[in-house]
Amino acid sequence: MNLRRLLAVSRKETLHIRRDPRSLILAMGIPMLMLLMFGYALTLDVDRVPFVVWDQGHTPESREFIARFTATRYFDFQGSVTDYAGVERAIDTRQAMLALVLPPDFAPRLAAGRSAGVQAIVDGSDANTAGIVLGYTQGIAAGFNQQLALEQVRRITGLSPAPALDLRTRVWFNPDLESRNFIVPGIMAVIMGLIAALLTSLTIAREWERGTMEQLISTPVKPAELILGKLLPYSVIGLANMVIAVLMAVFLFGVPLRGSVPLLFAVGMIFVVGTLAQGILISTVAKQQLLASQFAMISTFLPAFLLSGFAFAIANMPLPVQGITYIVPARYFVALVKGIFLRGVGLETLWRDALFLVVFALIVTGIAIRKTRKRLG
């Protein structure tokens, strides 16, 4: 390999980038825009759930029960209704996702030491959110029941019994359970993989369409020098994108960065080089810019978004799909970014994921060089 020829190819590709400032602006601007959109719009937090109440008793006990819902940030009281038609109308018009129906004998039954039935009607059109809302509702009801039981024992015995189980919870790494703290690092992997592959998926296809590839073939440039020379300037753009993404994650979204910054950028560059090489491989095979860009989108964004564990837990996927995730590089980069950002761990824990990214980058780059050798030959 001749370093002079490699740098000459790199300089040629840099000139192409400089002469097309619109593409450069898009390459830098699209990741920022996507990170803003996903960071602010995509959330898995279920809070401020709208609910209505049909309180048929209007007693202090029923108001106390309802107050447990209005006193938490997880529910947003929308008002009272007077019949089941009002309940149906509120849920049908999406004014409410939860409706509580308290019977007229709610307070008398509690005073007599008997159970009082309360109906909780949940809109199940969104199954995941409905399940979380039911969990919130059952938790509030359990707390209300526990308080009533303690008060009853206190009246009978004059003592305040200690609970049999004293559960003390402590949440590590994300104490406020903010979904943004794991969404933003995860979406960084999706965006960087997509942009890197799109940038390079057009480079060799553009050479074929413009007829300049024949000129390159007639030069002494070797396939390895051609591929690595084209990778170099785009790697700089990928590094710049990562710097911007990390700064936005930390200072704009407030995601804590607890781990090693050099390690974060090191694994990020390995991932970027691998996806850049993947884009060049696509460009080499496709030969057409439109086809190359479409295939880059399908082979990077969709697997990274669906199969990396960023949006959906891999453990909940069917076993055949779980097997496919092992060949998705974004799966390992998502694990690395979250481990460095949130857990603050290093290579002693994450070395397997880092090793896979290294192997992926080497294999894809080697295949791209081999395919280019065949084309040049």
> Given a cut of 60, is residue 111 above it in pLDDT?
yes
pLDDT at 214: 63
Average pLDDT, integer, range 166-180: 76
Give the contacts of 60 (CB within 8 A, at least 6 positions apart): 107
> Given a cut of 50, is residue 377 above it in pLDDT?
no
Domains located in the chain, CATH noted:
3-43+178-376 (no CATH), 49-157 (3.40.1710.10)
**Low-confidence winner among 53-67, 174-188, 262-276 (lowest mean pLDDT):** 174-188
Which residue is associated with the tokens 């857990």?
343
Q: What is the DSSP string of 123-177?
A: -TTSHHHHHHHHHHHHHHHHHHHHHHHHHHHHHHHS--PPPS--------S-TT-
Residue 102 pairs in a beta bridge with 55
The rounded mean pLDDT for the chain is 84
Helix (H, G, I), strand (E, B) or coil at 71: coil
Average pLDDT, integer, range 213-232: 77
Tokens standing for 312?
A: 């959906």
**Low-confidence winner among 39-48, 51-60, 128-137, 179-188 (lowest mean pLDDT):** 39-48
pLDDT digits (tens, 9 = 90+) for 255-267: 888 889 999 999 9
Q: How confident is the model at residue 164 (pLDDT cuts 50, 70, 90)?
A: low
pLDDT at 51: 94
Average pLDDT, integer, range 19-35: 78
Spatial strand order of the sheet with 98-102 comes to 75-80, 49-55, 98-102, 119-122
Helix (H, G, I), strand (E, B) or coil at 46: coil
Rounded-to-integer distance, Cα 377 and Cα 374, Å = 5
* Contact in structure between 338 and 185 (CB atoms under 8 Å): yes
pLDDT digits (tens, 9 = 90+) for 123-150: 988 887 888 889 899 999 888 888 887 7
Residue 55 pairs in a beta bridge with 102
pLDDT at 352: 93
Q: How far is CA 303 from the centre of its chain?
A: 13
According to DSSP, residue 95 is labeled S
